[in-house]
Amino acid sequence: MPHIEEEDLLALHGQIEREQQTNIRLLDQIHAKNKEYDRSVQSRNMAWVISGIIIVGSMVSIWYQARELEHMEHSFRSCHSRNSDLLQQYSGMVATADSLEKINALFLGRIAEDQVVYTVQVAALEKQKLPLRSGNINYISGPGVKGLTTFSIGVYYSLEEAQILRNALVKMGFGDAFIASYKNRVRVRIESAG
């Protein structure tokens, strides 16, 4: 066996130790690069997951908003339809009320000035609680006391004729019916009417 000098042996041993330390440093660097690569992959995967969640969330949000918009459009259409119906009903009621007021004014306009007329009052109602009035009934309505509208039936030129109608109405169940007199379209007491 050949003889190896101790110095050569020590030099060889030192070189082996340096190589081992270099290998350890290289392994550490490889581990560090692997960890860095793993973090990079995890970050990229996390970015894909977050992007997917954002995309899905955006799609759900758009779908929900589209559905809400469709619901709002439907609600708007139904409200518009109901409002149109109500406006038509209101227009009809205004036209009916206007024509009744014209008929009432025309009817009262036929009475001569200074002429006393008698009528039988059957009701005094609050204006906002009045149902739609029929144009088939002859009556006189006018402003009453404390915001009430009075309703009277018939226009007679004698007290006796008005009493006949009042008595018939009382027999029919209108116990509160009474005779009112008007002169120049203003209500007057029956005693001073003559």
Q: Note whether 93 and 22 are same-domain residues.
A: yes
State whether residue 4 is helix, strand or coil. Answer: coil
Q: How many domains does the chain have?
A: 2
Q: Note whether 6 and 40 are same-domain residues.
A: yes
State how far the Cα of 23 lies from the Cα of 25, in Å rounded to an integer: 5
Residue span of the structural domain in which 89 resides: 1-110
Structure tokens at 176: 């509160």
Q: Note whether 87 and 117 are same-domain residues.
A: no
Q: Note whether 77 and 159 are same-domain residues.
A: no
Q: Note whether 130 and 101 are same-domain residues.
A: no
**Position 136 pLDDT exceeds 50:** no
Question: What CATH number did the domain enclosing 150 receive?
Answer: 3.30.70
Return the number of other C-beta atoms located less than 10 Å from residue 71's C-beta: 10
Domain boundary among 63, 94, 110: 110
Q: Note whether 79 and 161 are same-domain residues.
A: no
**Position 36 pLDDT exceeds 60:** yes
Which is nearest to 83 in space by CA: 147, 75, 164? 75
Q: Which has more confidence, 50 or 110? A: 50
**Position 56 pLDDT exceeds 90:** yes
The top-scoring range by mean pLDDT among 44-58, 77-91, 126-140 is 44-58
pTM, full prediction: 0.39
* Contact (CB, 8 A) for 162 and 154: yes
Q: Note whether 40 and 55 are same-domain residues.
A: yes
How does the average pLDDT of the chain come out, rounded? 81
Domain boundary among 110, 142, 166: 110
Given this model, what pLDDT does residue 108 score?
57
Contacts of 153 (CB under 8 A, 6+ apart): 119, 120, 122, 137, 138, 139, 140, 165, 169
pLDDT digits (tens, 9 = 90+) for 22-33: 999 999 999 999
Contacts of 132 (CB under 8 A, 6+ apart): 93, 96
Given this model, what pLDDT does residue 150 score?
75
Return the number of other C-beta atoms located less than 10 Å from residue 188's C-beta: 14
Q: Note whether 125 and 185 are same-domain residues.
A: yes
